[in-house]
Structure 1
Amino acid sequence: MASDIVETEGLDPNFVAPSLLDETTELAEESGNAPEWQALPEIVSSQARSVKVLIAAQIFGSFGMGASASVAILLAQSVIDSEALAGVARTSLTLGAAVFGIPLAILATRRGRRFSLSSGWALGAVGALVLVLAAILSSAVLLIAGMLLFGAGTATGLQTRFSATDMALPKKRGRTLSYVVWFGLFGSVLGPNLGFPGEYVARWLGLPLLAGAFVLAALLLAVAAVLTLVFLRPDPLKVAQSHHAAAARVAAGANPVPATTVPSKKRGAFRTVLPAIWSIPTARFALIAVVVSHVSMVSLMTMTPVFMEMNGATVTLVGITISVHVLGMFAFAPLVGWASDRLGAPAVIVIGQVIFLGSAIAAIVIGPESTMLTPSLFLLGLGWSCGTVPGSILLSSSVPTEIRTTSQGVVDAVMNAVAALAALCSGPVFVLIGFSGLAIGVIILAAIVLATALVLPRAAWLPRS
């Protein structure tokens, strides 16, 4: 059977190796149900290889993107004197992730994950090089353009988590997705420290000190692009497309022949896919959970360093607090994925919102005692993990196969666009009603998700195990 797996690059997405199609048909006839093709030995082997490649690319990519958490902020402040414009430049990174989310998903639908992900990492590398030019020329225009392109790396990192589930068994999607999220921890923790080795690179190349970090970021993102382009074979999405098409033809009683149709442009249109997501109760709940969880995290986390500094916290304490927050976001992702598979995604999402409530209440009770915000920020990160991991899985399992990949891009785009708006608004809200006001906002957002969970169909709560 191993010889029956073929590289589908350049072939129609609906192509199926004949022997696999015959086996699919035979098993379907014997059992009366469509078999789980993901359990075939050669698929299991290909899935394991794909996950390893995706994890490796995620480590290098997230390491390179980690410069955005620290060095990019300093670069924006050094290039642009106006704090307002510097805020726009920093927000451009999140906007870039929103802008590139849908095109990369459509590209994946048409050309496969291998081409889409490698293109996204490459665009992020180009963005890093543009930021090097922005530092050299002190150009605000290049800074914003570089941030937008750099944001493609964020969009790619998000879509990598979905790529790991293309060939995964439904009952293992949560764990598989969470592994890729978990390995992003390495880059997220190490990446913000690129400034230190970047200074040596900058001196060696005769560049401004802040530019060196983005030289390293470009190299790391380029490595992620090459790893994906060279080693992500067979393409997991193309394999999944071929089997879904085979199952559809078997169910329709059609002859198993390669199809010649390709996804239409309308199928990838934002205006078409978003209403489709909204019309499905479980998909709508997943969309709300992912977007609201991300907004809750961004709105409170963005102003935490400012609040702590205003109350006398040292730079070291601020750094420790943010590191603990990142730990909460990523460290427990495998456990969250396992729980999503065993308990069901909606149940874990509800748990995540309760954790958000605990984080917000802790922030309000602590008040000006900024040295105690570390537990609150840890819970904030953990709540984010319990919202986005199961929410992503629930979305993928709720929408029709033909729009699944594009739906993933749409949700990521909406998530990043709303988060960018939340980041922009968090400053004025902080000035007007204080840090407690932001925490109250998190409580309101969590209540919205919990209220939405109450109207979910009973079947949606059943775990896929």
Structure 2
Amino acid sequence: MATDLTVPRTAARLDVAPIQRRTMRLLFTTQIIGGVGVTIGISVGALLAARVAGTAVAGVAQSAGVVGAALLAVPVTRIMARHGRRPGLVLAYAVGAVGGVLVVLAAATRSVPLLFLGMLLFGGGTAANLQARYTAVDLAEPARRGRQLSLIVWATTIGAVAAPNFAALADRVTTGWGLPPLAGPFAFSAAAFVLASVVLLGLLRPDPLLTARRLAAAAVVGSAAPDGAGAGGPGPAAAGHNGVAPAAAVAAEAPTGGGAGPATAPVGVRPPRTAGMRLAWSVVRGQPAARLGIAAVAIGHLVMVAVMAMTPVRLGESHADADVLRLVGIVLSLHIAGMYAFSPVVGWLTDRLGRRAVILGGVGLLLAACAVAGTAGHHTPRLSVGLVLLGLGWSGTMVAGSTLLSESVSAGVRPSVQGFSDLIMGLAGAGAAVLSGFVMQLAGYPVLTLLAAVATVPLVALALRPVPTGAPGEED
């Protein structure tokens, strides 16, 4: 695909509503497939790692998938910045499929290095699922960004909640094929990722990000031409006919993030060659709204992972081995439902009440979750309530933070900034997963939840910071 993005004369006349509807349907479908792939593997990942590498490093092996998703965000978003969403999503799912195959091989050969490499690459499935939510807002109308992003997040619910219950079936089926115990779910994960990548490769056309850039370029050319002429005629990009103006505005209205250099080049004509984490940091540093969006996503994820990761251990303190797996499945299914099932409502509130308000509401739910779970003792129903609140709080910070971030930067640098956000989020989650084990061992679960609550203080301070009048990207 050529890297030079031209501005066809028909770009300004393009009706993006059908393209957006098609994109949303496609993303919804692939999110279900990808959600099954990610969750069915993760549900047995720790158990398989314990058998291959030993219990002591099982948690580290599990965290490798989180780190892999974070690191893969860098090359994936670099590809998106140059060539669009489709090749980036396809690559991420393909890498996840390779990781699933390597994990199966590691189980068969009991190779610890191969297991770690496989888990690292398996994070590609998570990276693709995360980037899909941003794809949903490339052509979304400003008043519907939160809802459309949240619908893609919500689609993950179907796969994520159902997949753990199919892990045992997948294991039984593949054991009959000669695969080692607990390797079967990863084989199914690899197949799901391949299916998602093939569907996106064949059907995600036209590419929503490239279309948004062409519309933005057409709007720029049209506004610069005498009497509104240019890019295909007298100002249709600004006229609002057939839904064209709002879509062009989506791509063109966002600020460049401040500063000189590639970020200030005309949006839509040619993505900056320096697109990457360095550019993303320079853009975010000059854009308060983008900083808040990244902080909301990262800190919300950190708190969620820290508490969730040690909940099975907490349950194991008070229940026999025969009951622990059943209870863990129920509690974590409720938690995942809290994360995803209500995301359309969260998206509606994000558009209705504003991004900052929902971020603060998410923080409030995270604090309530820490209080309920931390004081639940060994009362499993109360602990379950705490985990549901934890999922709801994560949903608030994720949906509102991602929406605010996406609309706070220009289309030319948006993929790089979004990848930077996912990198920070992934590293925050991985760090929380590792440190939570040490805190749990040294001080116990209540202290862990207290520290997780304290971690939200910087986010609250950032969200309550006065907004300069007319600051770009700050209006809710």
Q: Answer whether TM exceeds 0.5 for this pair.
A: yes
Moved more, 241-250 or 331-340: 241-250
Q: 2: CA distance between counterparts of 1:402 and 1:259? A: 5
Cα distance in 1 for residues equivalent to 2:163 and 2:26: 20
The 1:89–1:150 alpha-carbon spacing in structure 2 relative to 1, beyond 3 Å, is same
Rounded to whole Å, the distance in 2 between the matches of 1:94 and 1:379 is: 22
Select between 157-166 and 315-324 the one with higher mean Cα deviation.
Answer: 315-324
TM-superposed CA distance for 1:170, in Å, is: 1.2
> Within 5 Å, which residues of 2 pair with 1:191-206?
191-206=163-178
TM-score (normalised: structure 2): 0.87
Instruction: Go from structure 1 to structure 2 and tell me whether the alpha carbon gap of 1:288 and 1:260 turns closer, same or farther (over 3 Å shift).
Output: closer
Cα displacement string for residues 82-114 of structure 1 (whole angstroms, at most 9, x for unaligned residues): x33222211100010011012111111111111
Q: Greater helix share, 1 or 2?
A: 1
Deviations 1:254-288 (A, max 9, x none): 965999964343222x1221232122111111111
The code of the aligned residue for 2:34 comes to G
Q: Where does 1:222-233 land on structure 2 (aligned, <5 Å)?
A: 222-233=194-205
Per the alignment, residue 159 of structure 1 pairs with 131
Deviates more, 1:206-215 or 1:290-299: 206-215
Secondary structure in structure 1 of the residue aligned to 2:375: helix
Corresponding residue of 1:54: 27
Which residue type is aligned with residue 163 of structure 2? G
Partner residue of 1:365?
375
Tell me the distance in 1 between the aligned counterparts of 2:174 and 2:390: 36
> In the TM superposition, what are the counterparts of 1:235-246 in structure 2 within 5 Å?
235-246=207-218
Which residue of structure 2 lines up, in the alignment, with residue 33 of structure 1? none
* Residue number among 410, 413, 417 corresponding to 1:403 in the alignment: 413
* Alignment partner, residue 246 of structure 2: none
Residue type at the aligned position of 1:266: T
CA distance in 2, matches of 1:238, 1:438: 44
Aligned residue number for residue 260 of structure 2: none
| Correspondence list, 1:61-460, <5 A | 61-81=34-54, 83-253=55-225, 256=231, 262-268=270-276, 270-312=277-319, 314-315=323-324, 316-457=326-467
Distance apart, 1:192 and its partner CA: 2.0
**Residues 12, 260 of structure 1: 8 Å contact kept:** no
The 3 A distance-change label for structure 1 pair 20 and 77 is same
Measured at CA, do residues 259 and 367 of structure 1 come closer, stay the same or move farther in structure 2, by a change above 3 Å? Answer: closer
Q: 2:10 touches 2:231 (CA, 8 Å); kept in 1?
A: no
Aligned residue-pair number: 435
Whichever residue aligns with residue 243 of structure 1, its letter is L
8 Å contact from structure 2 (residues 408, 474) kept in 1: no
Q: How far is the alpha carbon of 1:318 from its aligned partner?
A: 2.5
Other-structure match for 2:5: 14
Q: CA deviation at 1:462?
A: 7.3
Structure 1 position 253, deviation (Å) = 4.7
Cα distance, 1:260–1:368 mapped onto 2, change above 3 Å: closer
For residues 367 and 18 of structure 1, do their structure 2 counterparts lie closer, same or farther at Cα, with a shift above 3 Å needed?
Answer: same
Conserved 8 A contact 2:65-2:119: yes
Gaps of 5+ in 1: 1-9, 24-39
Deviation at 1:368, TM superposition (A): 3.7
CA distance 1:388–1:124, shift in 2 (3 Å): same
- The one-letter code sitting in structure 2 at the alignment partner of 1:380 is L
Tell me if the contact between 1:13 and 1:242 (Cα under 8 Å) persists in the aligned partners: no
Q: Aligned pair in 2 of structure 1 residues 341, 450: CA closer, same or farther (>3 Å)?
A: same
Aligned partner letter, 1:76:
A
Counterpart amino acid of 1:113? Answer: R
Is the Cα–Cα contact under 8 Å of residues 61 and 116 in structure 2 kept in the other structure? yes
* Runs of 4 or more above 4 Å deviation: 251-261, 458-464
Q: Which amino acid aligns with 2:401?
A: G
How far, CA to CA, are the matches of 1:203 and 1:301 in structure 2? 30
Any idea what SS the aligned residue of 1:390 has?
Answer: helix
Paired residues of 1:341 and 1:463 also in contact (CA < 8 A)? no
Amino acid paired to 2:172: Y
Distance in structure 1 (CA, Å) of the matches to 2:100 and 2:3: 34
Equivalent-residue separation in structure 2 for 1:282 and 1:453 (angstroms): 9
CA contact under 8 A between 2:370 and 2:450: conserved in structure 1? yes
Give, in angstroms, the shift of residue 397 of structure 1: 0.7
Distance 2:268 2:429 in 1: 40
Farther off after superposition, 248-257 or 418-427: 248-257
- The corresponding residue for 1:31 is none
Distance 1:271 1:204, change over 3 A: same
The answer as to whether partners of 2:36 and 2:163 remain within 8 angstroms in 1 is: yes
Shift of 1:17: 3.0
1:123-160 deviations in whole A, cap 9, x for unaligned?
Answer: 11111111110011000011001001110110110000
User: Normalising by the residue count of structure 1, what TM-score does the alignment of the two structures yield?
Assistant: 0.89
CA pair 376-458 structure 1, distance change in 2 beyond 3 A: farther
Matched-pair contact (CA < 8 Å) for 1:354–1:446:
no
How far off is 1:14 after superposition? 2.9
Deviation for aligned residue 1:186: 1.0
- CA deviation after TM superposition for structure 1 residue 403, in Å: 0.8
**Contact 2:343-2:395 within 8 A present in 1 as well:** yes
